[in-house]
Amino acid sequence: MYACRTCRSSECPVSLSRRSFLSGTAATAVAAEAGLLDFASSLFAADPKPPGKPVVRVVFVRSEVTPIVSWPGGNCDVCAQQALFTKTMEDAAGQIGVRLEIQAKPMAKPDEIQAFLQGVRKSPPDGLVICAMELELWPLVNQVVQERGDTPTIVYSHVSGFTNHLQCGRNTPKTYLGATQDVGWLAFAVRMLYTIWRTKNTRILFVAGNETKETAVAGMGTVFRWIPKDRFAEEFRKVPETEEIRAVAQLYAKNAEKIIEPSGADIIEAVKNYVVCRRLMETERCQGIAIDCLGWKNPVCLAYSKLRDEGIVAACERDANATISMLLTHLLFERPGFQQDPSPNTVNNTLIGAHCTSALRLEGFGKPYRAPYLLRNYHTRTGVAPQVLWPIGQPVTVVYATERPLSIMVGTGRVVSNIAQPPTGCCRTAVEIELNGVADSRDVKGFHQLFVLGNLERMFRAYGQLAGIPVMPIA
């Protein structure tokens, strides 16, 4: 018996021997070559993204001829600077599907500002980026911020203002001032505006209860499409055991550190759940799913892990707060969130978050890293639940968005351990984190918060300022 390389415990079940029900078959090789863990099954033609593109208007406030005595001054090639800003935003927009309307001719006169504002009020874009590029022209930037209406607006200052200038928009709703020498930040600026639009154009499927209806998240516009819970079982009965399903099951088995309780048949049934989730979303024209799944004998835990790896919202126990937390995390950072039950460790003053599913691509949907995992059973001692081992020592963000009232709570910490089972009994993926600046881990607010790899607090706060969503400490 040896210690798990991730949780450093000799009691971790990784020390047990691998079952050999699947080993080196031709189907597994085919699945590996096809990369079936990397993207959605070819059974589904529907694009999970909503149709259309948001429109973001970009303007530059500067003189066409840069004055020598001013910031940035004559030692800066402002035309080259504007070209760099433009390319950075164009590259980001192209990657995520944003239509930029760039006004290349800079504005420096009051009548130019008035004409621009008239255009914005007549035909409001989905977002606005104002590049403030000259010290003496900040009054014009302030005018745009004050008079542009309700359009979410980002002011970008690349070391072009002093402290008094950079008060611009500080207390103005749906305005964020990004003052930084990091030109690459403009990509995140475009993504924040995209996220505001996308949340208004996203439908999440809720499989719960016995009625069909639609509700919307006030302040975000996201639609929850509710369908009866028994629809899942009806669809499951229609799913045959295909070669593709067997290949995906074999690949999950082959790549597991260990298989403890599940049988080969259990893993195949778990992959069928993935097929059902995708088919229901496609039928109902939804881009995510939340299921009243607690206590199922054939749980959706493995299906959810795969969906989250693909960048699709998959929330446990039809939890609306977890759903919108996950949606924001996915859109802003292209990184999965781990919905968990919080259990404070009062001896260590840490927080243990446990649930029976976690994504593997913790660093991001497009990143090669996959967390090691074991295949375990679920609370009902049936089915398949991945026990995912998080990377020790890495920074983590705790985020909890609430629907009523709409708000975001956020904090940070680092991963200190994965909880060994046995001897502990809890949900299969159990991650212990040390929180930053929290005197008592029992003060952490909420339930089903997300753990997200990385320190993302400042970016969540920036988004809240821009989207008009209050952001508060998690504890």
DSSP string, 318-374: G-HHHHHHHHHHHHHHS---EE-EEEEETTTTEEEEEES---S-TT-TTSS----EE
Can you tell me whether residue 121 is helix, strand or coil?
A: helix
Cβ–Cβ < 8 Å for 44, 269: no
Low-confidence ranges of the chain (pLDDT < 50): 1-34, 39-43, 45
381 vs 376: CA distance, rounded Å:
9
Count of H-run helices and E-run strands, the chain = 11, 21
266 vs 271: CA distance, rounded Å:
9
Which pLDDT does position 48 carry in this prediction? 67
Residues forming a β-bridge with 227: 207
Residue tagged 């949780």 (tokens) = 7
Is the CATH number of domain 22-49+202-473 3.20.14?
yes
393 vs 200: CA distance, rounded Å:
36
358 vs 390: CA distance, rounded Å:
10
Which pLDDT does position 474 carry in this prediction? 98
Instruction: Please give the single-letter amino acid code of residue 26.
Output: A
Residues forming a β-bridge with 214: 225
414 vs 309: CA distance, rounded Å:
22
Which pLDDT does position 67 carry in this prediction? 83
Using CA atoms, how far residue 144 sits from 106, 172, 285, in Å, is 14, 12, 38
Which pLDDT does position 66 carry in this prediction? 83
Which pLDDT does position 44 carry in this prediction? 52
Backbone angles phi, psi at 418, to 5 degrees: -105, 135
178 vs 181: CA distance, rounded Å:
10
Can you tell me whether residue 390 is helix, strand or coil?
A: coil
Give residue limits of the domains in the chain.
22-49+202-473, 55-199
How many C-beta atoms lie closer than 10 Å to residue 436's C-beta? Answer: 15
- The per-residue b/e assignment along 96-111, b for 16 or more CB within 10 angstroms, e otherwise, is bebebebeeebbbeee
Superfamily covering domain 55-199: Response regulator (3.40.50.2300)
Using CA atoms, how far residue 300 sits from 45, 214, 285, 319, 415, in Å, is 22, 23, 20, 15, 26
Fold match flag (22-49+202-473 vs 55-199): no
341 vs 450: CA distance, rounded Å:
9
Using CA atoms, how far residue 175 sits from 22, 104, 148, 421, 469, in Å, is 55, 22, 11, 47, 11
Cβ–Cβ < 8 Å for 331, 466: no
